[in-house]
Structure 1
Amino acid sequence: MSAVKPLNIIVTGGARGIGRGIFRHLLGLGHNVLALDSNPTELRHVISQIEIWNSTGKGKGDALKCDLRNRDEIKRFVAEADKLFKGRLDVLVNNAFATPHIWSDGRAMDDESEDIMEQWDTKIAVGLTAPFLLSRLCVPLLKKGDTDASPGCIVNVSSTRAYQSEINHEGYSAAKAGLLGLTQSMSVSLGHKHKIRVNAIIPGWIHVDDENKEADEKRTKWEDALGEEDANWHPAGRVGKVEDVCKALEYLIGAEFVTGQEVVVDGGVGRKMVYPE
């Protein structure tokens, strides 16, 4: 994917973790990137870093607050993105998920409290319903997009836990698995009608403890808190980096004959069949 031609890109969950890494990477390539997140503290910090991350000086970055549980807020966000990008969107990256990945407060799916259902609703709303609604509302903008390979495209960020879960990940695994079905379905519907491509990235263990405001202030490095045992989990010899996901994203943006596909970004699992927290 060349930075010669700036693309207009939206990244949800762009203030922390994988989403922040994607935002920083694309901005550094010279693209116009709009991050969406619900955390005001992290959003303010991202905005403060835009000038530093925009190494080429060619792209433009911005970050807006949006609660993806709220459908009206999503609609308002799309209207704002329409203005910022002057009606043209090249890439939509549906990355956001409601943290934590497990049930909060030490709960499990067989908990007697109704609180578990509120958590379920939130995880499905942010992790599955919001990508569908946001994609649907962005179709008019994506139709006017141009990635050289096609009109605008959509990339959904799923997880290997869609296939291989851990204890107390029902909401996370269900949303991420549903995102794969949504990817397949939207690729057919939007492809035949508008030539809009839709693909998914399926990351394994991507270490992102360095992708937040506190880590920046403490000057946390990617390798901090990682040891030899963590590397030995993977036949590839190390834990994943945000850059690994970014490379897959660049490929999918530029691959004109690829749609409805799942790109797994994982170094493999050695001694065990589940990922550690």
Structure 2
Amino acid sequence: MANSPGSELGPELATIMGSLAVRVAAKYFMLASFIFMVYDHMITLAEEVDRIWQREWTGATWLFALNRYLTELQFIVNLVSPMRIAFHNPHWTGKACVHTGLDTHLVPDHYLYRCEDFIPFPGASTLISITIAEIIMILRTYGTALYQRNKYILGLLAFFWTGQLIVMGTTMRHPTRVELPEGQVGCIQGASGNYAAAFWLAPLVMDSVIFGLTVLKSLEYIYKTRYRVPLIHVVLRDGILYFTLILSANMLNCLLYYLAPPSLKVIGAR
């Protein structure tokens, strides 16, 4: 008995609708993350102006500014391309072209985008942001009262930082794009290969080393001073909070890579 037209279109329509729902979820995830970041920035802006902008600028100040604003700029580029929303721009061209029913010959050249040129940006900008944040944490561990500018500690952390940079950079050598069903448009970063999860495992190792050094030295100071150094308690408390949040975020990214649909695998790199 021949299948009816409706039954033949059913699975295909379900696939298209499922893919569309995942893309909408990914877009709102990015938008919510950006709004939360801007909100956090706004409620701390007065303190930032007082403690950062009105004082002499140093290398640490520049690191703070880069860490503070670079991620926001990354979000803006990912959410809003030069002409349209990058997630659903119908004018992407090149190797990653998607059939949209549009004749690209009728579209002005300055409206045409090459998805293959844009795809490396989300991962590369995330790598830069993480690298800057790790430098700040390294200097914090090296320069505080815990290790008092111990060059051996700086060398150890620099070794792991370099390894992290190499691993993350290697996983980005061949960025891929999510293949969308016919009729859907956009330029969405994907991931392939079992090694891609190392993009998140590498900073997790780096943060674990920093956390271990912080806890080890903090407990040593607390034991020697019998809890009489409040600064050490602050360093230990902040270290635990930071590591817990970063551990949760990186583990979530790893789980998404192995369990989520293709268009959500690297959502944290956007």
Q: Same fold (TM over 0.5)?
A: no
Structure with greater proportional strand content: 1
Q: TM-score of the superposition, structure 2-length normalised?
A: 0.30
Question: Which structure would you say has the larger RCO, counting Cα contacts within 8 Å and 6 or more residues apart?
Answer: 2
Q: Which TM-score applies when normalising by structure 1?
A: 0.29
